[in-house]
Amino acid sequence: MLNFNFYNPTHVVFGKDRLSEIATLIPENAKVLIIYGGGSIKKFGTFDKIVKALESFEIFEFGGIEPNPQLQTCIKAAEYIKENNIDFILAVGGGSVLDATKYISIAAKYYGNDYKSLIKHGFTPVPVTEAVPFGTVLTLPATGSEMNAFSVISDETGKYAVYSPLFFPKFSFLDPTLTYTLPKKQVANGIVDTFIHVVEQYITFPVDAKFQDRAAEGILQTLVEIGDYTLNNPEDYDARANFMWCATMALNGVVGSGVPQDWSTHMIGHEFTAKFDIDHGRTLAMVLPSLLRERKENKKAKLLQYAERVWGITEGNADERIEAAIQQTENFFNSLGVPTKISDYSVKKEELKDIITQLESHGMVALSETGDLTLDVAERILENAY
Protein backbone atom coordinates (compact mmCIF):
# COMPACT_ATOMS: atom_id res chain seq x y z
CA MET A 1 0.00 0.00 0.00
CA LEU A 2 1.26 3.48 -0.79
CA ASN A 3 1.50 6.18 1.88
CA PHE A 4 -1.48 8.53 1.81
CA ASN A 5 -3.34 11.35 3.53
CA PHE A 6 -7.10 11.12 3.98
CA TYR A 7 -8.93 14.30 4.91
CA ASN A 8 -12.52 15.05 4.03
CA PRO A 9 -14.43 17.38 6.37
CA THR A 10 -17.63 17.75 4.30
CA HIS A 11 -20.75 17.06 6.33
CA VAL A 12 -23.08 14.89 4.23
CA VAL A 13 -26.81 15.00 4.99
CA PHE A 14 -28.27 12.07 3.10
CA GLY A 15 -31.90 11.12 2.62
CA LYS A 16 -35.35 12.24 1.74
CA ASP A 17 -37.31 15.20 3.11
CA ARG A 18 -34.40 16.88 4.82
CA LEU A 19 -34.04 20.20 2.97
CA SER A 20 -35.62 21.97 5.94
CA GLU A 21 -32.41 21.21 7.86
CA ILE A 22 -30.29 23.43 5.60
CA ALA A 23 -30.95 26.48 7.74
CA THR A 24 -29.35 24.79 10.76
CA LEU A 25 -26.02 24.53 8.94
CA ILE A 26 -25.69 28.11 7.68
CA PRO A 27 -24.30 30.79 10.02
CA GLU A 28 -27.03 32.97 11.53
CA ASN A 29 -27.75 36.25 9.76
CA ALA A 30 -25.70 35.25 6.72
CA LYS A 31 -26.53 36.82 3.37
CA VAL A 32 -26.94 33.72 1.23
CA LEU A 33 -26.41 33.47 -2.53
CA ILE A 34 -28.11 30.53 -4.25
CA ILE A 35 -26.18 29.52 -7.37
CA TYR A 36 -27.85 27.28 -9.93
CA GLY A 37 -27.85 26.27 -13.57
CA GLY A 38 -30.50 26.29 -16.25
CA GLY A 39 -33.58 26.68 -14.12
CA SER A 40 -34.83 23.09 -13.78
CA ILE A 41 -34.61 23.55 -10.01
CA LYS A 42 -37.33 26.20 -10.38
CA LYS A 43 -39.42 24.07 -12.71
CA PHE A 44 -39.49 21.11 -10.34
CA GLY A 45 -40.05 22.99 -7.08
CA THR A 46 -36.62 22.47 -5.50
CA PHE A 47 -35.89 26.19 -5.53
CA ASP A 48 -39.13 26.97 -3.68
CA LYS A 49 -38.41 24.32 -1.04
CA ILE A 50 -34.97 25.80 -0.45
CA VAL A 51 -36.23 29.36 -0.27
CA LYS A 52 -38.77 28.21 2.30
CA ALA A 53 -36.05 26.44 4.30
CA LEU A 54 -34.03 29.66 4.26
CA GLU A 55 -36.82 32.08 5.11
CA SER A 56 -34.87 33.45 8.07
CA PHE A 57 -31.99 34.53 5.78
CA GLU A 58 -31.56 37.32 3.26
CA ILE A 59 -31.38 35.46 -0.06
CA PHE A 60 -29.80 36.36 -3.39
CA GLU A 61 -29.69 34.27 -6.54
CA PHE A 62 -27.36 33.74 -9.46
CA GLY A 63 -28.57 31.36 -12.19
CA GLY A 64 -27.27 30.39 -15.58
CA ILE A 65 -24.20 28.30 -14.77
CA GLU A 66 -23.70 26.29 -17.94
CA PRO A 67 -22.61 22.64 -18.28
CA ASN A 68 -18.78 22.73 -18.29
CA PRO A 69 -18.90 26.01 -16.38
CA GLN A 70 -17.20 28.90 -18.09
CA LEU A 71 -14.67 31.14 -16.41
CA GLN A 72 -16.44 34.32 -17.55
CA THR A 73 -19.74 33.26 -15.95
CA CYS A 74 -17.93 32.43 -12.73
CA ILE A 75 -16.21 35.81 -12.69
CA LYS A 76 -19.60 37.53 -13.01
CA ALA A 77 -20.86 35.56 -10.01
CA ALA A 78 -17.73 36.43 -8.01
CA GLU A 79 -18.22 40.14 -8.73
CA TYR A 80 -21.87 39.88 -7.76
CA ILE A 81 -20.77 38.40 -4.43
CA LYS A 82 -18.32 41.25 -3.84
CA GLU A 83 -20.96 43.87 -4.68
CA ASN A 84 -23.55 42.35 -2.36
CA ASN A 85 -21.34 41.30 0.55
CA ILE A 86 -22.53 37.71 0.38
CA ASP A 87 -21.47 35.60 3.41
CA PHE A 88 -22.45 32.12 2.29
CA ILE A 89 -23.11 30.35 -1.01
CA LEU A 90 -25.56 27.52 -1.53
CA ALA A 91 -24.91 25.65 -4.77
CA VAL A 92 -27.97 23.81 -6.05
CA GLY A 93 -27.46 21.54 -9.03
CA GLY A 94 -25.10 18.98 -10.50
CA GLY A 95 -21.33 18.85 -10.86
CA SER A 96 -21.15 21.91 -13.08
CA VAL A 97 -22.92 24.16 -10.58
CA LEU A 98 -20.84 22.74 -7.74
CA ASP A 99 -17.56 23.09 -9.64
CA ALA A 100 -18.43 26.65 -10.62
CA THR A 101 -19.29 27.49 -7.01
CA LYS A 102 -15.91 26.24 -5.85
CA TYR A 103 -14.08 28.53 -8.24
CA ILE A 104 -16.46 31.40 -7.42
CA SER A 105 -15.82 30.89 -3.68
CA ILE A 106 -12.15 31.80 -4.09
CA ALA A 107 -12.60 34.28 -6.93
CA ALA A 108 -14.93 36.30 -4.70
CA LYS A 109 -12.03 36.73 -2.28
CA TYR A 110 -9.49 37.46 -5.01
CA TYR A 111 -8.50 41.06 -5.53
CA GLY A 112 -5.85 40.70 -8.21
CA ASN A 113 -6.39 41.44 -11.88
CA ASP A 114 -5.95 37.99 -13.41
CA TYR A 115 -8.86 35.70 -12.53
CA LYS A 116 -7.61 33.27 -15.15
CA SER A 117 -4.43 32.66 -13.16
CA LEU A 118 -6.54 30.87 -10.54
CA ILE A 119 -7.37 28.01 -12.92
CA LYS A 120 -3.86 27.23 -14.13
CA HIS A 121 -2.40 25.19 -11.30
CA GLY A 122 -3.57 21.65 -12.10
CA PHE A 123 -3.44 19.44 -9.03
CA THR A 124 -1.26 21.90 -7.13
CA PRO A 125 -3.40 23.90 -4.70
CA VAL A 126 -4.46 27.31 -5.99
CA PRO A 127 -2.33 29.85 -4.06
CA VAL A 128 -5.20 31.47 -2.15
CA THR A 129 -5.99 31.42 1.55
CA GLU A 130 -9.60 32.53 1.72
CA ALA A 131 -12.93 31.47 0.27
CA VAL A 132 -16.58 32.34 0.81
CA PRO A 133 -17.94 29.29 2.68
CA PHE A 134 -20.44 27.21 0.74
CA GLY A 135 -22.74 24.24 0.99
CA THR A 136 -24.43 22.23 -1.73
CA VAL A 137 -27.71 20.57 -2.61
CA LEU A 138 -26.94 17.93 -5.21
CA THR A 139 -29.47 17.19 -7.94
CA LEU A 140 -27.35 15.08 -10.32
CA PRO A 141 -25.07 12.33 -8.99
CA ALA A 142 -21.97 11.99 -11.14
CA THR A 143 -18.90 14.08 -10.46
CA GLY A 144 -18.41 13.56 -6.72
CA SER A 145 -17.84 17.32 -6.41
CA GLU A 146 -20.22 17.36 -3.43
CA MET A 147 -17.60 15.68 -1.24
CA ASN A 148 -14.19 16.53 -2.63
CA ALA A 149 -11.88 19.46 -3.21
CA PHE A 150 -11.73 19.37 -7.02
CA SER A 151 -13.33 21.56 -9.63
CA VAL A 152 -13.16 21.69 -13.42
CA ILE A 153 -13.47 25.09 -15.09
CA SER A 154 -13.45 25.85 -18.81
CA ASP A 155 -12.38 28.87 -20.80
CA GLU A 156 -11.87 29.40 -24.50
CA THR A 157 -8.58 27.49 -24.34
CA GLY A 158 -9.80 24.29 -22.67
CA LYS A 159 -11.00 22.50 -19.52
CA TYR A 160 -8.88 22.87 -16.40
CA ALA A 161 -8.79 20.85 -13.22
CA VAL A 162 -8.59 23.20 -10.22
CA TYR A 163 -7.77 22.05 -6.69
CA SER A 164 -7.82 23.69 -3.29
CA PRO A 165 -8.34 22.39 0.25
CA LEU A 166 -10.79 25.32 0.49
CA PHE A 167 -13.02 23.52 -2.04
CA PHE A 168 -14.55 21.05 0.42
CA PRO A 169 -18.21 22.02 0.81
CA LYS A 170 -19.16 22.78 4.44
CA PHE A 171 -22.12 20.49 3.87
CA SER A 172 -23.83 18.63 1.05
CA PHE A 173 -27.46 17.57 0.99
CA LEU A 174 -27.96 14.37 -0.98
CA ASP A 175 -31.65 13.70 -1.51
CA PRO A 176 -32.27 10.86 -3.99
CA THR A 177 -35.81 12.09 -4.67
CA LEU A 178 -34.38 15.24 -6.28
CA THR A 179 -33.00 13.02 -9.07
CA TYR A 180 -36.41 11.58 -10.06
CA THR A 181 -37.01 14.27 -12.70
CA LEU A 182 -33.60 14.01 -14.38
CA PRO A 183 -33.53 13.20 -18.09
CA LYS A 184 -32.52 9.58 -18.74
CA LYS A 185 -29.45 10.71 -20.65
CA GLN A 186 -28.06 12.64 -17.69
CA VAL A 187 -28.57 9.68 -15.37
CA ALA A 188 -26.81 7.39 -17.84
CA ASN A 189 -23.93 9.86 -18.14
CA GLY A 190 -23.70 10.03 -14.36
CA ILE A 191 -23.53 6.26 -13.99
CA VAL A 192 -20.76 6.06 -16.58
CA ASP A 193 -18.87 8.97 -15.02
CA THR A 194 -19.05 7.33 -11.59
CA PHE A 195 -17.97 3.96 -13.00
CA ILE A 196 -14.94 5.48 -14.71
CA HIS A 197 -13.97 7.55 -11.67
CA VAL A 198 -13.54 4.25 -9.90
CA VAL A 199 -11.76 2.61 -12.83
CA GLU A 200 -9.18 5.45 -12.90
CA GLN A 201 -8.30 4.63 -9.28
CA TYR A 202 -8.59 0.84 -9.53
CA ILE A 203 -7.42 -0.53 -12.88
CA THR A 204 -3.76 0.46 -12.51
CA PHE A 205 -1.16 -1.83 -10.94
CA PRO A 206 -1.59 -3.77 -7.69
CA VAL A 207 -0.16 -2.45 -4.43
CA ASP A 208 -1.98 -4.90 -2.14
CA ALA A 209 -4.52 -2.33 -0.92
CA LYS A 210 -7.17 -4.87 -0.11
CA PHE A 211 -9.96 -2.76 1.34
CA GLN A 212 -9.62 -0.05 -1.31
CA ASP A 213 -9.89 -2.71 -4.02
CA ARG A 214 -12.96 -4.26 -2.42
CA ALA A 215 -14.60 -0.85 -2.00
CA ALA A 216 -13.86 0.02 -5.63
CA GLU A 217 -15.28 -3.30 -6.78
CA GLY A 218 -18.29 -2.73 -4.52
CA ILE A 219 -19.12 0.51 -6.33
CA LEU A 220 -18.63 -1.07 -9.76
CA GLN A 221 -20.78 -4.07 -8.82
CA THR A 222 -23.50 -1.79 -7.46
CA LEU A 223 -23.56 0.33 -10.62
CA VAL A 224 -23.81 -2.78 -12.78
CA GLU A 225 -26.59 -4.08 -10.57
CA ILE A 226 -28.73 -0.93 -10.57
CA GLY A 227 -27.73 0.87 -13.80
CA ASP A 228 -30.38 -0.23 -16.24
CA TYR A 229 -32.99 -0.57 -13.49
CA THR A 230 -32.69 2.97 -12.16
CA LEU A 231 -32.78 4.40 -15.69
CA ASN A 232 -36.14 2.76 -16.21
CA ASN A 233 -37.49 3.12 -12.67
CA PRO A 234 -36.52 6.68 -11.80
CA GLU A 235 -38.72 6.81 -8.73
CA ASP A 236 -37.39 3.66 -7.05
CA TYR A 237 -35.89 5.35 -4.02
CA ASP A 238 -33.34 2.72 -3.02
CA ALA A 239 -31.91 2.35 -6.51
CA ARG A 240 -31.41 6.11 -6.76
CA ALA A 241 -30.02 6.23 -3.22
CA ASN A 242 -27.48 3.55 -4.08
CA PHE A 243 -26.48 5.37 -7.25
CA MET A 244 -26.20 8.70 -5.43
CA TRP A 245 -24.06 7.36 -2.58
CA CYS A 246 -21.83 5.43 -4.98
CA ALA A 247 -21.23 8.60 -7.01
CA THR A 248 -20.09 10.37 -3.85
CA MET A 249 -17.96 7.50 -2.53
CA ALA A 250 -16.33 7.08 -5.93
CA LEU A 251 -14.38 10.30 -5.61
CA ASN A 252 -14.14 11.33 -1.97
CA GLY A 253 -10.85 9.63 -1.19
CA VAL A 254 -12.09 6.27 0.10
CA VAL A 255 -11.27 4.14 -2.94
CA GLY A 256 -8.28 6.25 -4.00
CA SER A 257 -6.29 6.30 -0.76
CA GLY A 258 -2.97 4.50 -0.92
CA VAL A 259 -3.31 3.31 -4.52
CA PRO A 260 -1.86 4.50 -7.85
CA GLN A 261 -4.22 6.59 -9.95
CA ASP A 262 -4.46 6.85 -13.71
CA TRP A 263 -6.82 9.67 -14.92
CA SER A 264 -5.67 9.50 -18.53
CA THR A 265 -9.19 8.67 -19.77
CA HIS A 266 -10.37 11.87 -18.08
CA MET A 267 -7.57 13.99 -19.49
CA ILE A 268 -8.20 12.75 -23.04
CA GLY A 269 -11.98 12.97 -22.58
CA HIS A 270 -11.74 16.60 -21.45
CA GLU A 271 -10.24 17.51 -24.84
CA PHE A 272 -13.24 16.02 -26.65
CA THR A 273 -15.63 18.03 -24.49
CA ALA A 274 -13.60 21.19 -25.05
CA LYS A 275 -13.47 20.77 -28.83
CA PHE A 276 -16.74 18.99 -29.68
CA ASP A 277 -18.94 19.76 -26.68
CA ILE A 278 -19.62 16.06 -26.10
CA ASP A 279 -21.00 15.28 -22.62
CA HIS A 280 -18.23 14.47 -20.15
CA GLY A 281 -19.46 10.96 -19.27
CA ARG A 282 -19.76 10.07 -22.95
CA THR A 283 -16.24 11.18 -23.77
CA LEU A 284 -15.00 8.81 -21.07
CA ALA A 285 -17.03 5.89 -22.43
CA MET A 286 -15.60 6.34 -25.90
CA VAL A 287 -11.97 6.49 -24.73
CA LEU A 288 -11.83 3.90 -21.92
CA PRO A 289 -12.31 0.58 -23.77
CA SER A 290 -9.61 1.37 -26.32
CA LEU A 291 -7.32 2.67 -23.58
CA LEU A 292 -7.71 -0.53 -21.57
CA ARG A 293 -6.89 -2.62 -24.64
CA GLU A 294 -3.83 -0.50 -25.44
CA ARG A 295 -2.61 -0.67 -21.84
CA LYS A 296 -3.52 -4.24 -21.07
CA GLU A 297 0.04 -5.35 -20.35
CA ASN A 298 0.64 -2.42 -17.95
CA LYS A 299 -2.68 -3.10 -16.23
CA LYS A 300 -2.72 -6.88 -16.55
CA ALA A 301 -2.99 -7.92 -12.91
CA LYS A 302 -5.75 -5.46 -12.10
CA LEU A 303 -7.64 -6.19 -15.33
CA LEU A 304 -7.69 -9.87 -14.41
CA GLN A 305 -8.88 -9.02 -10.91
CA TYR A 306 -11.55 -6.74 -12.39
CA ALA A 307 -12.66 -9.49 -14.78
CA GLU A 308 -13.05 -12.00 -11.98
CA ARG A 309 -14.44 -9.92 -9.15
CA VAL A 310 -16.70 -7.51 -11.02
CA TRP A 311 -17.81 -9.67 -13.95
CA GLY A 312 -17.29 -13.18 -12.61
CA ILE A 313 -15.07 -14.09 -15.58
CA THR A 314 -12.84 -17.06 -14.75
CA GLU A 315 -12.74 -19.03 -18.03
CA GLY A 316 -10.10 -18.68 -20.73
CA ASN A 317 -6.51 -17.53 -20.78
CA ALA A 318 -5.46 -14.14 -19.44
CA ASP A 319 -5.91 -12.32 -22.76
CA GLU A 320 -9.34 -13.81 -23.26
CA ARG A 321 -10.49 -12.90 -19.78
CA ILE A 322 -9.25 -9.33 -20.15
CA GLU A 323 -10.95 -8.94 -23.53
CA ALA A 324 -14.18 -10.38 -22.13
CA ALA A 325 -14.10 -7.90 -19.24
CA ILE A 326 -13.56 -4.97 -21.61
CA GLN A 327 -16.43 -6.19 -23.77
CA GLN A 328 -18.67 -6.48 -20.71
CA THR A 329 -17.74 -2.91 -19.83
CA GLU A 330 -18.71 -1.74 -23.31
CA ASN A 331 -21.94 -3.73 -23.18
CA PHE A 332 -22.78 -2.13 -19.85
CA PHE A 333 -22.28 1.41 -21.17
CA ASN A 334 -24.20 0.54 -24.34
CA SER A 335 -27.05 -0.90 -22.26
CA LEU A 336 -27.42 2.56 -20.71
CA GLY A 337 -27.61 4.13 -24.15
CA VAL A 338 -24.05 5.42 -24.04
CA PRO A 339 -22.00 4.69 -27.20
CA THR A 340 -18.41 3.50 -26.87
CA LYS A 341 -16.89 4.55 -30.19
CA ILE A 342 -15.71 8.02 -31.21
CA SER A 343 -17.30 7.42 -34.63
CA ASP A 344 -20.69 7.34 -32.91
CA TYR A 345 -20.33 11.13 -32.53
CA SER A 346 -19.87 13.95 -35.06
CA VAL A 347 -16.11 13.68 -35.00
CA LYS A 348 -14.21 13.13 -38.24
CA LYS A 349 -11.31 10.71 -38.19
CA GLU A 350 -8.92 13.41 -39.36
CA GLU A 351 -9.90 15.53 -36.34
CA LEU A 352 -8.35 13.04 -33.92
CA LYS A 353 -4.96 14.68 -34.49
CA ASP A 354 -6.45 17.93 -33.16
CA ILE A 355 -7.07 16.16 -29.85
CA ILE A 356 -3.42 15.15 -29.75
CA THR A 357 -2.42 18.74 -30.48
CA GLN A 358 -4.66 19.96 -27.64
CA LEU A 359 -3.23 17.39 -25.22
CA GLU A 360 0.23 18.63 -26.13
CA SER A 361 -0.70 22.27 -25.70
CA HIS A 362 -2.11 21.49 -22.24
CA GLY A 363 1.03 19.64 -21.20
CA MET A 364 -0.70 16.24 -21.12
CA VAL A 365 2.25 14.44 -22.69
CA ALA A 366 3.00 11.77 -20.09
CA LEU A 367 -0.28 10.50 -18.68
CA SER A 368 -1.29 7.45 -16.63
CA GLU A 369 -0.34 5.85 -13.32
CA THR A 370 3.17 5.27 -14.61
CA GLY A 371 3.57 8.46 -16.63
CA ASP A 372 4.34 6.60 -19.85
CA LEU A 373 1.15 7.20 -21.78
CA THR A 374 2.81 9.53 -24.27
CA LEU A 375 1.20 11.29 -27.22
CA ASP A 376 2.00 8.48 -29.66
CA VAL A 377 0.24 6.04 -27.34
CA ALA A 378 -2.70 8.42 -27.01
CA GLU A 379 -2.87 8.58 -30.80
CA ARG A 380 -3.12 4.79 -31.09
CA ILE A 381 -5.81 4.75 -28.40
CA LEU A 382 -7.88 7.28 -30.34
CA GLU A 383 -7.43 5.53 -33.68
CA ASN A 384 -8.61 2.25 -32.19
CA ALA A 385 -11.46 4.01 -30.38
CA TYR A 386 -12.82 5.42 -33.64
Query: Distance between the two ends of the chain, CA-based, in angstroms?
Result: 36
Q: Which residue, 15 or 38, is less far from its own copies as judged by CB?
A: 15
For its own copies, what does the binding mask look like between residues 236 and 275, x meaning CB under 8 A? -xx--xx--xx--x----x--xx-----------------
* CA 205 – CA 118 distance, rounded (Å): 33
Q: Of 38, 64, 53, which is closest to residue 173 (Cα–Cα)?
A: 53
Q: Which residue, 153 or 226, is less far from its own copies as judged by CB?
A: 226
Among 28, 83, 208, 350, binds its own copies (CB under 8 A): 208
Q: Which residue, 10 or 143, is less far from its own copies as judged by CB?
A: 10
The reply to whether 210 sits near its own copies by the rule CB under 8 A is yes
Q: Which residue, 221 or 374, is less far from its own copies as judged by CB?
A: 221
* CA 234 – CA 224 distance, rounded (Å): 16
Q: Which residues contact 295 (CB under 8 A, 6 or more apart)?
A: 368, 373
* CA 224 – CA 343 distance, rounded (Å): 25
Render 92-128 in DSSP notation, one character per residue: EESHHHHHHHHHHHHHTT--SS-GGGGG--TTSPPS-
The reply to whether 312 sits near its own copies by the rule CB under 8 A is no
The reply to whether 15 sits near its own copies by the rule CB under 8 A is yes
Hey, how many other C-beta atoms are within 10 angstroms of the C-beta on 224?
Answer: 17
We find the least distance from the C-beta atom of residue 253 to its own copies, in angstroms, to be 9
**Candidates 7-15, 39-47, 124-132, 148-156 — which segment interacts with its own copies by CB under 8 A?**
7-15
* CA 253 – CA 9 distance, rounded (Å): 11
The reply to whether 6 sits near its own copies by the rule CB under 8 A is yes
Q: Which residue, 157 or 261, is less far from its own copies as judged by CB?
A: 261
Strand pairing of 171-174 and 158-163? Answer: unpaired
CB contact at 8 A, 175 and 224: no
Among 50, 86, 219, 278, binds its own copies (CB under 8 A): 219
Among 38, 63, 133, 218, binds its own copies (CB under 8 A): 218
The reply to whether 205 sits near its own copies by the rule CB under 8 A is no
Q: Which residue, 180 or 211, is less far from its own copies as judged by CB?
A: 211
Q: Where on the chain is the footprint of its own copies (CB under 8 A)? A: 1-16, 18, 207-215, 217-219, 221-222, 225-226, 237-238, 241-242, 245-246, 249, 254, 257-258
